[in-house]
Structure 1
Amino acid sequence: MSTYTATKLIPMLESHDMLATLKFYTEILKFTCDVKLDDLSWLTLRKDEIEIMFCSPNEHRNIPKSIMSGSLYINTNEVAALWENLKDHCEVCYPLEDFDYGMREFGIYDNNGYLLQFGQNL
């Protein structure tokens, strides 16, 4: 196998409510919508260096609700201020906390139930 260069990872997540997803990410998390299809079946959201794509469920996969076994971990330089801005507007998984592995972080769920973790080096 020849070698190749991977240049970027962009998560593509399914949403059963694309309008709510667009509102959550743009109004609460302050992402911008770079591109979206007119029928809102696909969109790309961006915040600084972070990019996430969302699509309507694929009829071939037939998954009844959005699922992901892991999380999206977002590094930030202002985790405490971000926590203060988000804690009353999101479902909290765990509050702002300092961890032995050198991170201050918290976790919230987006409107789809995906876990978003925000962290900053101590």
Structure 2
Amino acid sequence: MAKLTSITPMFWTTQVKATVAFYTEVLGFECGAMEEGWAVLLRDEIEIMVAYPNPNVPFDGPMFTGSFYINTTNVNQLWEAWKDTCTICYPIDNFDYGMREFAIYDNNDYILQFGQPVNQ
């Protein structure tokens, strides 16, 4: 059986350049490649692609109904870096399921959660 090796989210946006700017200037990603209507963003083990919406699918804004959860080794450091520069979905807290986390909205209103186990 074929082995699945990774998953890379593809965020649809009509504002690729603004999205690249948000991820590089605010969140500390690097732009690995950019062409008209498409870019790849990289930070540590994380890869995100952004692209113009598929013309075969109706698009009125972000369509993802969940969030993107990013595990980190220092959630407190990220919170301190971004709490005053990002739109907060919910503030940092310890949750009953054993994670310390917070969530922000990116410039397209996709929800990005950042967390680590409370016992770390």
Q: Does the pair score TM above 0.5?
A: yes
1:62 Cα deviation after fit: 2.5
1:43-84 deviation per Cα after TM superposition (whole angstroms, max 9, x unaligned): 110110000111011221121212210111001111111101
1:80 corresponds to which residue? 76
SS in structure 2 opposite 1:83?
helix
Identity of paired residues, percent?
48
* Whole-Å separation in 2 of the counterparts to 1:14 and 1:77: 28
Letter paired with 1:12: M
The answer to whether residue 54 in structure 2 is matched with residue 65 in structure 1 is no
Contact 1:16 / 1:112 at 8 angstroms: preserved in 2? Answer: no
SS in structure 2 opposite 1:7?
coil
* Whole-Å separation in 2 of the counterparts to 1:73 and 1:90: 16
* Whole-Å separation in 1 of the counterparts to 2:66 and 2:87: 17
* Whole-Å separation in 2 of the counterparts to 1:60 and 1:92: 32
Q: What pairs with 1:1-122 in structure 2 (closer than 5 Å)?
A: 3-37=1-35, 39=36, 41-122=37-118
Q: Which runs of 5+ in 1 are unaligned?
A: none
Contact 1:109 / 1:115 at 8 angstroms: preserved in 2? Answer: yes
- Greater shift, 104-113 or 61-70, is seen at 61-70
Contact 1:16 / 1:66 at 8 angstroms: preserved in 2? Answer: no
Equivalent residues, number: 118
Letter paired with 2:54: N
Q: Which runs of 5+ in 2 are unaligned?
A: none
The two structures, once aligned, show a CA RMSD in angstroms of 0.8
Normalised to the residue count of structure 1, the TM-score between the two structures is: 0.93
Contact 1:94 / 1:106 at 8 angstroms: preserved in 2? Answer: yes
